[in-house]
Amino acid sequence: MAEAKQDDLSTLDGIIHALYDSISGPAGLKRDGRRFRTLFLAGARLVRTAIDEGGAAGAAVMGVDEYLLAANEYFESNAFYEREIARRVERFGHVTHALSTYESRRAETDAEPFARGVNSIQLFHDGRRYHVVTVFWDFERPDNPIPEEYLPR
């Protein structure tokens, strides 16, 4: 994988595709942190939600490098392919918010995903390119199905 290209950064489609593409790949392939970092604004955060064994909701807040360290540890022994299947977008000035529904697979050819969820992606457009400010996500669970309006139409 290479550094992000201007096409990755100049459009909303490009940066969201690059975000998913940069974390997808076979087991044992260390993801390209340089490309991943170019997508983000300095100080950006990634926030993963989870439900603990007692049923309480929590959130793990990570910087870009913290996320890469944890993700690459997982990717050492796990293939992971994540793709967007639907998106809702709102914009105001230089601020863009995308609710991006995703599916995760262990192989690109898997018929069914092993996980689905929704990424809340906040982006800043500086007049030339997009920068990811925050990625905040939750997983689909039996008690937390993805609403119809967040699924492909």
CB 120 within 8 A of CB 46: no
- Structurally, the chain folds into a number of domains equal to 1
Residues 6+ positions from 66 with CB-CB distance below 8 Å: 46
Position 103: which residue type? E
User: What mean pLDDT is predicted for residues 117-145?
Assistant: 97
The reply to whether 79 falls in a domain is yes
The reply to whether 1 falls in a domain is no
The reply to whether 47 falls in a domain is yes
The reply to whether 109 falls in a domain is yes
Residues 6+ positions from 145 with CB-CB distance below 8 Å: none
Radius of gyration from C-alpha coordinates of the chain: 15
Give the pLDDT confidence score for residue 83 in this predicted structure: 98
Per-residue pLDDT tens over the stretch 40-95: 999 999 999 999 999 999 999 999 999 999 999 999 999 999 999 999 999 999 99
CB 101 within 8 A of CB 86: yes
The reply to whether 117 falls in a domain is yes
Give the pLDDT confidence score for residue 7 in this predicted structure: 74
**Could you tell me the pTM of the whole model?**
0.93
Give the pLDDT confidence score for residue 82 in this predicted structure: 98
Of all residues in the chain, the percent with pLDDT exceeding 90 is: 93
User: What mean pLDDT is predicted for residues 101-125?
Assistant: 97
The reply to whether 145 falls in a domain is yes
Residues 6+ positions from 72 with CB-CB distance below 8 Å: 30, 31, 33
Name the least confident of 3-12, 47-56, 98-107, 110-119: 3-12
Give the pLDDT confidence score for residue 8 in this predicted structure: 83
Position 2: which residue type? A
Position 142: which residue type? P
Main-chain phi, psi angles of 143, to 5 degrees: -90, 5
Q: Detail the DSSP E strand segments found in 6-92.
A: 40-51, 57-63, 81-92
* Residue-number span of the structural domain to which 122 is assigned: 6-150
CATH code, domain carrying 48:
3.10.450.50
Give the pLDDT confidence score for residue 1 in this predicted structure: 44
The reply to whether 27 falls in a domain is yes
Neighbours of 17 (CB within 10 A): 15
Tokens of 56: 């309480």
